[in-house]
Structure 1
Amino acid sequence: MPSFEFDANKSALNKEKHGLDFEESKELWKGPVFEFPVREKMREMRYVALGKIDGNPYTGIVSYRGATIRIISVRPSNQREIEQYAVSIKKTESRISKA
């Protein structure tokens, strides 16, 4: 499992707003996760991470500090993100079956 860092206050706020804190959010990286760059903010590139926690789709916003994943936000995925995750899974399975 990769190493993580996060702001404890933001983690508590995320728990209030989305039902899980960042410690629980680490589960997102235990299965297939697809990451897409979203934007550069304050010289830090951010990524959308699509995956599942306990079988439910979640979307994270993260940045990287070396090999460490910095969790910025994690919430239940919206319909568009769920569809994007499904497409990414199919593409990956197709590549694996052709190999």
Structure 2
Amino acid sequence: MLEFDWDERKRFINKEKHGIDFYFACRVFWGETLQKKVWKNGEERKIAIGKIGDDVIVVVFVERENTIRLISARPASQDERKFYQQRYPRNRKRDLGN
């Protein structure tokens, strides 16, 4: 089972800046995501693009053992939404663990 954590100060800043709470952003990992590794400040990070309801969001995170530490979350850009929807068309059924 995945566990999530984050810095509370960053959570507040992210919610103010992008309108997305980290509690909400965690749900992106319940479905299909596109992920890419990136390096910043000597640390390996990952970017996930996924869908929550009708919203496509981008989450930057770090994996530490069984924990996902959220760094930021924002609405996907138009290009990111298009890329995600080409990979996972709307009519495709997904298993969300229900």
TM surpasses 0.5: yes
Determine the C-alpha separation between the residues in 2 that align with 1:75 and 1:57.
9
Alpha-carbon separation, structure 1, partners of 2:88 and 2:53: 17
Gaps of 5+ in 2: 93-98
Q: TM-score normalised to the size of structure 1?
A: 0.80
Structural mapping, 1:43-82, within 5 Å: 43-82=42-81
Aligned residues: 90
Residue identity in the other structure for 1:70? R
- TM norm structure 2: 0.80
Q: 1:30: which partner in 2? A: 30
What do you get for the CA RMSD once the two structures are aligned?
Answer: 1.7
Query: Which structure 1 residue ranges, 5 or more long, are not aligned?
Result: 94-99
Distance 2:42 2:65 in 1: 14
Superposition deviation, residue 67 in structure 1 = 2.2
